């Protein structure tokens, strides 16, 4: 690999491909690299809400490399890129190699004619100036490995070796092997194949076989008593291919592969090695969340292990190819993959690949994608697209079958008539779908099901359906848990939101589009033809922040069972209780409720893998309850009157205790707890060391509202690559952060120790209830830990602090124990560690600090789409009329006034109604035309005198297409209107 010591500049330097260009002022860095992640969030970030308000731009990379005489003599040389986003152009020694528009495809160039002995240089221009170029966050730059390969003149073609089983059981497997060779000689060429078992025992050797032109096909290879690749036992064989010129060995490649037998049946679903397997999957963007587009092997192992421990056995890569290391890890960990190549087959985001390059590039990119990934046993099917359409789907399926006859083809509800497997997204969540679907000649998979949203540690007792769905529209009914909503805290008062979507979502299983998690689990388990469910999503991800969540300051999509930092949500334990294989018991909600009145009854749910649970409160049994199999019996449930204390849940299986857990009232945090998660380290200098920071009571119990800022310093040759708390509205930069607020008590650091010499972390925080309501005691704590998980000696540190915001160095008291804050104020502190390293801390306390603790009366019901946040022509942003919602409204300026916005529909094509809120400022006639994807509807009315100055709502019918909808509202009026916003009825 040639990953180190690249020069980089975030600027379009047109002459940077020239040899005499002076790049001394450029930054030196290693790839993989993501400049969008490094530069953080901005309200006017070019990726906009699609990409979590990250930037775009144009960047250049340059690198020099040395070649000796032998490298350049009688060899072929290639430079290969695993991933560059997007529109990359490559020069070698000023020679133009070419351009690859797609930001998710691996590619390379034969540079043999353009290199020379001695110093050579490569220049790469990356163009992300046209944004948003995806419907989710994308990294910017060279985010994958770069490799320089020196090969024999004649050699195996890149991705040219293909090995797969045509039949496999425990007694025998039949294998097909094929190879492609770059033939650059007139001498005879031969290939010899050797297959070795996981124990490195030779199970097949071919002898020398002659090429037919530049290809060799060796079908019907028999392997006796094979080890079959499986989810639980992912056995990997190796195929060594040796290329001979006459009798001389000139090239050798090694491919890892698995032997397994898969089939798809319309009536019974998916079969793996003769066993009917329910595919319990999640969808995952190629997004590290806390690390942007940087996905190291150990980081992927950590993520996939979390999913496997939950009981997940499959990942749909949405909606593009993943990095090569992803498939390697899935192969080795036994994770099934639905391998997806494209999002749309035409424009879906404003400047995406569908618009920029799909028509000219799709076939080349598809061929490279299939050839690169086809030897991975984890890949069980290919997906061609997501919520798109067009006759090109037929050609895509043809190309896939030509290159890989061993796998079937599907899509996320795209060109379904051409696909081998029927894949449906949101429409597969509807009650009517399950009541009416009959298996045909294709197996069925739910490529996105279910869609639910939740913020870790946040609760509501009333059901919420996205986009105003109701039981009358065919969704499954989810009853409210209480008559009146119990909880009213939020990230901010609704008067500061920009639209009605900007609320947090409940961690009970009651915040969804059409179906909840429990019903989805039941359907998958009990319906024979229901082969696969790919939940949207496994982890929260950056981007798509406007579609459901209303936009800035929301930066992320909250559909995961794990948040951006990888912390588990309550849903994780629900899945684990049904899908997992280890004993589990989990209580929700937590038991710290500062604004609840004593005696108010709280729905307490317990998820368990056992058959029953006994719940105790302050040592007294509240009874034992059995867990059922129906969706509404998957949780054991009690209504418990609120008061301070301890809930204890004990889980049983056949009358024997299998595990227990507790939730306890925690008035405020008093200490930090540091834990290292290094089980997935690979030993590479690129590894991320993962450190968890919790804000806890003296007894070590998590404070569930912890928001205090944590500060840290590293000792040793390491760097904080990222700090992430999972808060969807935290728009502080993650990269190389020096401090960060916890979110609901938790924070996670991702640290690099590139020289592998050992790094220690010291962390400190001023801790307490920011409102000073439950507890007005404030503590200051310091903890130290090394990356091997060993706590460090802090006997020599000292803390000086003030409570009036003054400088603690000059006027601070020596901290000895927690103190009381009797009124609002700012605490400052300085921590001196070992008389060398120090940390400067600050924390504010008072009734308006931290979370907003509201009530049912002050929660405003805002419209979902605010006009002032849309694209507007011939309209003015104003605030002078009373009773507008959010930050303002748009007033018509001249005819026509046009307001444009985006709406995604993950269900089928549908007729609905667009609601718009307006205020007329004078009498007159109004014509409103709503256009979407070539279809227009209209609403005409006359404003009368008694209606002037009053806010009104009207509706107009609208047809929403499946997938992307770019909606235009055109207003012609002799009146003058103020437009506040829109929602769908």
| Tokens matching residue 488 | 């009213």
Question: In a 3-state reduction of DSSP, which class is residue 974?
Answer: coil
Burial of 1 (0-12, 13-18, 19+ CB in 10 A): exposed
* Torsion sign, CA atoms 157, 159, 165, 166: negative
Closest by Cα among 267, 640, 631 to 450:
631
Closest by Cα among 667, 665, 972, 607 to 818:
667
The span from the CA of 476 to the CA of 459, in Å, is 21
Closest by Cα among 200, 192, 260, 267 to 226:
260
Please, which residues have CB within 8 angstroms of residue 367's CB and are 6 or more apart in sequence? Answer: 399, 403
Please, which residues have CB within 8 angstroms of residue 624's CB and are 6 or more apart in sequence? Answer: 612, 613, 614, 615, 652
Give whole-number Cα distances, 702 to 408, 505, 666, 667, in Å: 48, 21, 7, 10
Buried b (16+ CB within 10 A) or exposed e, 869-898: bbebeebeeeeeeeebbbebbbbbeeeebb
Q: Where are the beta strands (DSSP E) in 665-752?
A: 671-677, 689-696, 709-716, 719-724, 739-741, 746-752
Q: What angle do CA 769, 772, 775 make, to 5 degrees?
A: 70
* Given 297, 340, 387, 578, the catalytic residue: 387
The span from the CA of 746 to the CA of 750, in Å, is 14
* Torsion sign, CA atoms 728, 729, 733, 737: negative
Closest by Cα among 341, 466, 315 to 396:
341
User: Annotated catalytic, 94?
Assistant: no
Tokens 């008062």 belong to 493
Buried b (16+ CB within 10 A) or exposed e, 72-99: beebbbbbbbbbbbbbbbbbbbeeebee
Write out the H or E segment, with its range, that includes residue 219: strand 215-224
The span from the CA of 591 to the CA of 618, in Å, is 12
Which residues are identified as catalytic? 387
């Amino acid at each position: 690999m040639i990953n180190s010591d690249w020069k980089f500049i975030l600027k379009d330097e047109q002459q940077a491909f020239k040899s005499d260009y002076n790049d001394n002022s450029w930054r030196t860095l290693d790839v993989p690299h993501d400049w969008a992640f490094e530069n953080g969030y901005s309200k006017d970030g070019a990726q906009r809400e699609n990409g979590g308000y990250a930037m775009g731009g144009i960047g250049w990379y340059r690198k020099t490399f040395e070649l000796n005489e032998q490298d350049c003599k009688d060899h072929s040389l290639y430079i290969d890129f695993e991933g560059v986003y997007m529109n990359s152009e490559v020069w070698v020694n000023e020679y133009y190699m070419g351009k690859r528009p797609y930001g998710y495809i691996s590619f390379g160039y034969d540079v043999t004619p353009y290199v020379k002995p001695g110093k050579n240089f490569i220049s790469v221009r990356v163009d992300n100036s046209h944004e948003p170029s995806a419907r989710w966050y994308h990294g910017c730059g060279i985010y994958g490995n770069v490799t320089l390969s020196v090969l024999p003149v004649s050699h195996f073609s890149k991705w040219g070796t293909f090995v797969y089983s045509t039949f496999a059981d425990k007694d025998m497997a039949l294998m097909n092997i094929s190879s492609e060779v770059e033939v650059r000689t007139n001498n005879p060429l031969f290939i010899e194949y050797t297959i070795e078992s996981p124990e490195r025992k030779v199970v097949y050797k071919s002898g020398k076989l002659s090429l037919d032109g530049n290809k060799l096909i060796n079908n019907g290879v028999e392997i006796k008593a094979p080890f079959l690749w499986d989810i639980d036992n992912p056995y990997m064989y190796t195929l060594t291919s040796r290329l001979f010129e006459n009798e001389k060995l000139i090239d050798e490649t090694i491919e890892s592969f698995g032997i397994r037998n898969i089939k798809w049946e319309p009536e019974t679903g998916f079969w793996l090695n003769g066993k009917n397997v329910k595919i319990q999957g999640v969808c995952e963007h190629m997004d590290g969340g806390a690390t942007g587009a940087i996905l190291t092997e150990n980081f992927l192992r950590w993520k996939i292990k979390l999913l496997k421990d939950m009981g997940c056995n499959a990942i749909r890569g949405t909606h593009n190819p993943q990095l090569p290391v992803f498939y390697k890890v899935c192969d080795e960990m036994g994770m099934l993959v639905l391998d997806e190549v494209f999002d749309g087959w035409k424009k879906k985001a404003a400047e995406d690949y569908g618009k920029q390059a799909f028509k000219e590039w799709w076939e080349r990119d598809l061929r490279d994608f299939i050839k690169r990934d086809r030897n991975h046993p984890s890949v069980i099917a290919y997906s061609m697209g997501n919520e798109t359409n067009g006759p090109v789907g037929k050609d895509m399926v043809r190309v896939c079958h030509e290159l890989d006859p061993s796998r079937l083809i599907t899509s996320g509800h795209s060109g379904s008539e051409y696909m081998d497997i029927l894949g449906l997204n949101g429409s597969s969540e509807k009650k009517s779908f399950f009541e009416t679907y009959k298996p045909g000649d294709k197996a069925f998979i739910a490529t996105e099901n279910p869609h639910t949203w939740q913020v870790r540690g946040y609760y509501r007792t009333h059901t919420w359906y996205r986009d105003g769905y109701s039981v009358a529209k065919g969704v499954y009914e989810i009853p409210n848990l209480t008559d009146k909503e119990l909880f009213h805290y939020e990230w901010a008062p609704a008067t500061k939101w920009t639209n009605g979507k900007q609320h947090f979502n409940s961690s009970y299983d009651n915040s969804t589009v059409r179906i909840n998690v429990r019903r989805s689990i039941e359907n998958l388990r009990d319906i024979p033809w229901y082969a696969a469910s790919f939940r949207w999503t496994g982890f929260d991800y950056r981007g798509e922040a406007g579609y459901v969540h209303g936009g800035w300051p929301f930066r992320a999509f909250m559909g995961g069972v794990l948040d951006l930092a990888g912390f588990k949500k309550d849903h994780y334990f629900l899945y684990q209780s049904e899908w997992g294989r280890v004993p589990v018991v989990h209580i929700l909600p937590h038991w710290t409720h500062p604004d609840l009145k004593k005696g108010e009854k709280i729905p307490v749910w317990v998820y368990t893998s056992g058959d029953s649970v006994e719940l105790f409160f302050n040592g007294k049994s509240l009874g034992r309850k059995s867990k059922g199999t129906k969706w509404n019996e998957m949780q054991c449930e009690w209504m418990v009157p609120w008061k301070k204390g301890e809930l204890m849940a004990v889980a049983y299986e056949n009358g024997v205790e299998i595990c227990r857990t507790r939730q306890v009232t925690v008035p405020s945090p008093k200490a930090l707890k540091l834990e290292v998660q290094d089980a997935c380290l690979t030993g590479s200098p690129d590894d991320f060391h993962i450190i968890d920071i919790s804000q806890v009571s003296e007894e070590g119990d998590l404070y569930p509202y912890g928001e205090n800022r944590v500060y840290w310093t590293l000792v040793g040759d390491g760097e904080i690559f990222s700090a992430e708390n999972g808060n969807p509205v935290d728009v502080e930069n993650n990269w190389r952060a020096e401090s960060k607020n916890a979110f609901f008590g938790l924070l996670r650091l991702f640290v690099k120790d590139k020289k592998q010499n050992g790094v220690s972390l010291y962390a400190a925080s001023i801790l307490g209830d920011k409102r000073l309501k439950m507890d007005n005691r404030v503590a200051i704590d310091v903890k130290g830990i090394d990356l091997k998980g060993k706590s460090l000696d802090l006997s020599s540190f000292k803390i000086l602090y003030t409570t009036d915001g003054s400088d603690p160095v000059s006027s601070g008291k020596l901290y000895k124990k927690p103190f009381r804050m009797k009124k609002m104020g700012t605490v400052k502190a300085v921590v001196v560690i070992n008389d060398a390293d120090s940390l400067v801390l600050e924390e504010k306390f008072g009734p308006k600090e931290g979370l907003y603790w509201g009530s049912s009366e002050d929660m405003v019901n805002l419209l979902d789409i605010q006009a002032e946040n849309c694209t507007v022509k011939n309209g003015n942003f104003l605030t002078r009329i009373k009773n507008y919602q959010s930050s303002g409204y748009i007033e018509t300026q001249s005819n026509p006034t046009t307001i444009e916005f985006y709406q995604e529909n993950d269900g089928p094509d549908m007729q609905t109604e667009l609601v718009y809120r307006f205020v007329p400022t004078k009498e007159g006639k109004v014509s409103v035309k709503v256009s979407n994807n070539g279809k227009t509807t209209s609403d005409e009315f006359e404003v009368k005198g008694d209606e002037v100055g009053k806010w009104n709502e009207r509706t107009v019918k609208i047809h929403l297409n499946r997938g992307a909808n770019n909606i235009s509202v055109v207003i012609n009026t002799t009146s003058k209107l103020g437009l506040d916003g829109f929602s769908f009825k």
